[in-house]
Amino acid sequence: MPKLGMEPIRKAALVKATILEIGRLRSLDVTVTQIAKRAGMSSALAHHYFGSKDEIFLAAMRHILTIYAAEVRGALMISKTARGRLEAILRMSFSARNFYGESIGAWLNFYVLAQTAPKAARLLAVYQRRLNSNLVHALRPLASDRATAIALTLGALIDGVYLREALAPKAPDGDAAVTMILNYLDLELGRTSAPMISPSNSFGAPL
Amino acid sequence: MPKLGMEPIRKAALVKATILEIGRLRSLDVTVTQIAKRAGMSSALAHHYFGSKDEIFLAAMRHILTIYAAEVRGALMISKTARGRLEAILRMSFSARNFYGESIGAWLNFYVLAQTAPKAARLLAVYQRRLNSNLVHALRPLASDRATAIALTLGALIDGVYLREALAPKAPDGDAAVTMILNYLDLELGRTSAPMISPSNSFGAPL
Amino acid sequence: MPKLGMEPIRKAALVKATILEIGRLRSLDVTVTQIAKRAGMSSALAHHYFGSKDEIFLAAMRHILTIYAAEVRGALMISKTARGRLEAILRMSFSARNFYGESIGAWLNFYVLAQTAPKAARLLAVYQRRLNSNLVHALRPLASDRATAIALTLGALIDGVYLREALAPKAPDGDAAVTMILNYLDLELGRTSAPMISPSNSFGAPL
Amino acid sequence: MPKLGMEPIRKAALVKATILEIGRLRSLDVTVTQIAKRAGMSSALAHHYFGSKDEIFLAAMRHILTIYAAEVRGALMISKTARGRLEAILRMSFSARNFYGESIGAWLNFYVLAQTAPKAARLLAVYQRRLNSNLVHALRPLASDRATAIALTLGALIDGVYLREALAPKAPDGDAAVTMILNYLDLELGRTSAPMISPSNSFGAPL
DNA sequence: AATGAATGAGGATTCATTCAT
DNA sequence: GATGAATGAATCCTCATTCAT
């Protein structure tokens, strides 16, 4: 009955299950047994493939980041104008991370993980730098001298909006998020911005 | 050593120790024993005074939020102009929460706690609403029709910048944070903003 | 403020509280703190007066047994006929132990205590022997040669009925209990017994 | 050592160990660790199989009651006469419960457990009702109108005698117990009973 | 390849008991 | 006389991890 080439299948199932469980419980307090059960195998097998719980978490985080990066890259290729590229990055930031539905809940918890696990922190840093440079590149033609500063603000804004989406009891609204951030962007670029529709039931308070 | 009136002293020590330990470990995985030891007592005594670990966490969170709210309130009283009030809120958001040094590390973890613990979520919601109304009130005279929308963006920006401060390996720089957000504010209010100095070693990537 | 002669008052309050709490919880898992609180004092004071939890339990048990014995003795003095004395013993067995209301619940638990604590066992044995001799004495004039055997059965019957009363969810019914046992007694003594009224909702199953 | 199909073996070992330990200590204050150690495994494994201490207790109680019921049922099948059936029930009540030797000590403690734990109480009630109906059925042909009343007294007598056996320091004497109860039964049924031999060292005192 | 079996280490919580005031 | 303060020792329970099959 032993099948060949099960390793990638099992690993993928575990990664997916990890994201789902963390998202569902909205906490890193997920047991290996829970993850394995959801992935349809024993916890012993999970250890067999990953060696430790930390490695499972790391793989799950890596997976989320990889997909995110891939989607941003894809969107950038299509967009031809500078502003189109910026919009693409924004849009991906609020859609790509939902590929599993619950992954929005997993994201914040990976941030927490990055606080403690150096490997996770390094992983995060790589992607953060890469995406920052994406923003700067896209901004350069539009606001050469202020590109860095605007990129910084844009990044913070994305994080902040995303954080609120992750914590709000209501269903996430990606479009509203993008509209809000584009409003800021256009302000910086000197365009007249379309009046923003403020979503109801949103907290406007600081973190 | 037993004296009278130790309860408030012990409780305060435990709250302080909780914030310090969460900040130090950058994780909610802090044991009662660790907290109690840092507070200079046995874990049994910690339970005696708080009843459960959850209550200890809650008390610590309540403490941070109370101090934060108090400082904002204080700053608002002094400021006479609308813009001064906005600036005060921003400034407090990046200074008050550091009163213990490590409290910046505890903050994000309390956010995680709020995802799971209803009591913590309620606590957070109260403060978020209160501060959002502060922002809206201050904005009303300056941009009556867009006050709500701007408050929303400001709130997200504060959260985002704070999140990055909490996660960055470098020492937090409150002034730079405030400057960045004021730049956005002045843009919205139609003023010319002073060119912002971009802090080094900052990630500009989305969450 | 220190009052004189508090010792007997405090001790009595603790004994009473112990019986009430054991009866209320229907278990020996009563904490000294619970007992002390119900007795209106600190647990430290309870220890001061009794030295240990075991001693508190013992004192409570001693108290119940003392009252029981006293009531039986009193009833025996009044009754002039042999059968009257037997009936008195029975009646006391189902009324005296209720002096506190909840004491019926404490009784079974003291039996359990007697299984473990030698002092408690000795206490119990003394009273059991004394009361057995009461039964035998009362029976001697009525059934000289079978007095011992009948006393044995009577004792077991009393215990059994009492046990069921203690465990039944319904309110204890002392009269029915006495009637049932008198029925047996009269059978042994050759009298015609009055038809017994069978209480509803009673289990007739063995222990 | 790990083999397949250990679960029933481990569970049985734990149930047996529970009865032995409760019997040995004559108290419900048995730790899971003690039980597990006597069953030859870690306390973690005990929890793995039963989930909680309560479930372990319940399983042990269920086991005793199941065996008891089975033995009574078996004995009833063999007996052809009504009186034979009654005698069988009595005899089983004083032998079946000794299958493990110490189980007699566990029995009383399960009664205490039933005072507090609803599940245990329900368990007990089921068996009590079932056995009461056994008694009534067997009595009907012999004393139709008084069957219920006699069953009640018989039940109480069984409980009482059993309780004394459980508490007495001497070795339990099942034959004497049965003889004593049969004496009552024959009295009720109008037979002449053989003179009973009174066991030495027995308390004839009420509970 | 896969898993049931098994456990050591640790964590929250409780409680009898002691002590200084 | 009285108590708040304080703790060590236990207890139940969980979980990542290992191992034999």
Kindly report, residue by residue over D135-172, the tens digit of the pLDDT.
Answer: 999 999 998 889 999 999 999 999 899 888 877 777 77
In sign, the C-alpha dihedral spanning A46, A47, A53, A54 is negative
- To the nearest whole Å, the CA of B1 is away from the closest chain A CA by 38
H helical segments located in C39-194: 43-50, 53-78, 82-95, 103-116, 118-139, 147-167, 174-189
Q: What is the mean pLDDT of residues B175-199?
A: 75
Percentage of residues of chain A with pLDDT beyond 90: 46
Q: Do C163 and D163 touch (CB under 8 A)?
A: yes
Task: Give the per-residue pLDDT at B195.
Answer: 45
Cβ C10 to strand F below 7 Å = yes
Cβ B8 to strand F below 7 Å = no
Specify whether the CB–CB gap between B124 and A205 falls below 8 A: no
Q: Output the pTM of the full model.
A: 0.87
Q: What is the mean pLDDT of chain A?
A: 84
Task: Give the per-residue pLDDT at B82.
Answer: 92
Task: Give the per-residue pLDDT at D201.
Answer: 40
Chain F: nucleotides below 7 Å from protein CB are 1-21
> What is the distance between the alpha carbons of residues D101 and D93, in angstroms, rounded to a whole number?
14
Q: Do C93 and D206 touch (CB under 8 A)?
A: yes
Q: Do D27 and C115 touch (CB under 8 A)?
A: yes
Task: Give the per-residue pLDDT at B175.
Answer: 86
Give C142's DSSP letter. Answer: T
* CA nearest neighbour of C101 among C174, C199, C51, C35: C174
- To the nearest whole Å, the CA of B44 is away from the closest chain A CA by 24
Torsion of CA B32, B36, B41, B45, to 10 degrees: -40
Query: Residues 6 or more apart from D108 whose CB is under 8 A from it?
Result: C111, C112, C115, D163, D166, D167
Find chain A residues with C-beta within 8 A of B180's C-beta. 149, 152-153, 156
H helical segments located in chain D: 6-25, 32-38, 43-50, 53-78, 82-93, 103-116, 118-139, 147-167, 174-189
Give φ, ψ of C169 to 5 degrees: -75, -20
Q: Is D36 on the interface with C (CB under 8 A)?
A: no
D98-117 residues near strand F (Cβ < 7 Å): none
Confidence of residue C199 (pLDDT cuts 50, 70, 90): very low
Task: Give the per-residue pLDDT at C191.
Answer: 64
Q: What is the mean pLDDT of chain C?
A: 84
Task: Give the per-residue pLDDT at A4.
Answer: 57
Specify whether the CB–CB gap between C94 and C186 falls below 8 A: no
Q: What is the mean pLDDT of chain B?
A: 85
Percentage of residues of chain C with pLDDT beyond 90: 47
Give φ, ψ of B100 to 5 degrees: -105, 0
Q: Give the tens place of pLDDT for each residue, A13-65.
A: 999 999 999 988 988 999 999 999 999 999 999 999 999 999 999 999 999 88
Res B59 pLDDT > 90: yes
Q: Do A112 and B27 touch (CB under 8 A)?
A: yes
Gyration radius of chain C's alpha carbons: 19
Q: Which of A105, A132, A161 sits opposite B156 (nearest CB)?
A: A161
Q: What is the mean pLDDT of chain D?
A: 85
Res A201 pLDDT > 50: no
Give φ, ψ of B81 to 5 degrees: -90, 160
> What is the distance between the alpha carbons of residues A54 and A28, in angstroms, rounded to a whole number?
11
Q: Which of A105, A132, A161 sits opposite B204 (nearest CB)?
A: A132
Inter-CA distances, A17 with A29, A105, D197, Å: 14, 13, 73
Res A142 pLDDT > 70: yes
Q: Which residue has the tokens 């502003």?
A: A83
Q: Give the tens place of pLDDT for each residue, D43-60.
A: 999 999 999 999 999 999
Q: Give the tens place of pLDDT for each residue, C60-111.
A: 999 988 888 888 888 889 898 999 999 999 988 887 555 455 677 788 888 8
- Nucleotide F9: closest residue by CA–C1': B44
| F16 C1' to B33 CA distance, Å | 21
| F18 C1' to D42 CA distance, Å | 15
Res C200 pLDDT > 50: no
* CA nearest neighbour of C206 among C167, C152, C154, C180: C167
